[in-house]
Amino acid sequence: MPAGLHWLTYGLRIELTADTAALLRRARPRLPPGRPTAGRTRVDRRYAIARRDGAVTIHRDRRLLVRSRDPLAALDALESDAQLYVAEHARDRLFVHAGVVGWRGRAILLPGRSLSGKSTLVAALLRAGARYYSDEYAVLDARGHVRPYPRLLSLRRTQGRPRRIKPEALGARAGKTPLPVGLVVVCRYHAPSIGRRTRAPAPLSAGRCLLALLKNTVAARSRAALAMARLHLVVSSARAVVAERGEAAPFAATLVSWL
């Protein structure tokens, strides 16, 4: 029996329909953080999911988004598309690709795209006592403070699908309140090797920090004025460093010592 849901997320309304209630239940956790809303309102984006001939198909605004015999792969495509749409068009919020944790009333921001190691470093910081805000997006409000983006951590394995876990599984708690940014860390992973020394962290100027954040801002071109205003608020008050990192755990211990 067909089932449907209207979802309010960062000022945007997404309609999600499926040809069975069971399929809708599987798809709902893949939507960006938000809440159900009344159906008799405008809709900004529509997704329709169906299972036909052993494959799952997802249409976005009546155009085919994905068709796959692997239901999880189809849901991954839904999640990625919906997240990027919201990050691009969210009302009065700026989304920066970054891992974010809270530490003693301030946020540590780790800008970087997917597969850059953000989630691994965020997990190490949570084990060190930090609070979880996001392993994917820093969501900046009008004051330049970071808002929580409450989704499960996605920790990649050497083989198979990423493992999705709650911060409580790492002995941590999720942050609830907006935080000013205290530290921006622009880092790159280098595997430890014999005879090679890791470069010591170095201060990063406000201008270079802004460029690094802008490079990872989803709406940097479509909403350039908003992006520059919010990022200026961040770099005008936060400390910024550029660093190489080896294993996540010792580097996380170094990070928290800087705040």
Query: Angle CA(249)–CA(242)–CA(134) in degrees, nearest 5?
Result: 55
pLDDT, greater one: 24 or 248: 24
- pLDDT over threshold 70, residue 192: no
Looking at residue 115, its pLDDT comes to 60
Contact status, residue 150 vs residue 206, Cβ threshold 8 Å: no
Looking at residue 193, its pLDDT comes to 53
Q: Averaged over 123-127, what is the pLDDT?
A: 94
Q: Which of 3-12, 113-122, 245-254 has the highest mean pLDDT?
A: 3-12
Looking at residue 76, its pLDDT comes to 94
Distance CA 56, CA 61 (A): 16
Looking at residue 2, its pLDDT comes to 73
Q: Averaged over 169-192, what is the pLDDT?
A: 89
What percent of the chain is predicted at pLDDT more than 70? 92
Looking at residue 154, its pLDDT comes to 87
- pLDDT over threshold 80, residue 120: yes
CATH 3.40.50 range(s) for the chain read 94-257
Query: pLDDT tens digit string along 52-89?
Result: 899 999 999 999 999 999 999 999 999 999 999 999 99
Distance CA 170, CA 123 (A): 7
Looking at residue 116, its pLDDT comes to 63
3-state DSSP call for residue 88?
Answer: helix
Residue 132 buriedness (CB in 10 A; 0-12 / 13-18 / 19+): buried
pLDDT, greater one: 246 or 77: 77
Residue 172: closest CA among 238, 240, 110, 124: 124
- pLDDT over threshold 90, residue 218: yes
Fold of 94-257: Rossmann fold (3.40.50)
- pLDDT over threshold 80, residue 189: no
Confidence tier at 191 by pLDDT (50, 70, 90): low
Got the DSSP string for 143-180?
Answer: TSPEEP----EEE--SSSSPEEE-GGGGT--B--S-B-
Q: Averaged over 158-163, what is the pLDDT?
A: 74
pLDDT, greater one: 33 or 160: 33
Q: Averaged over 15-37, what is the pLDDT?
A: 95
- Average pLDDT taken over every residue of the chain: 90
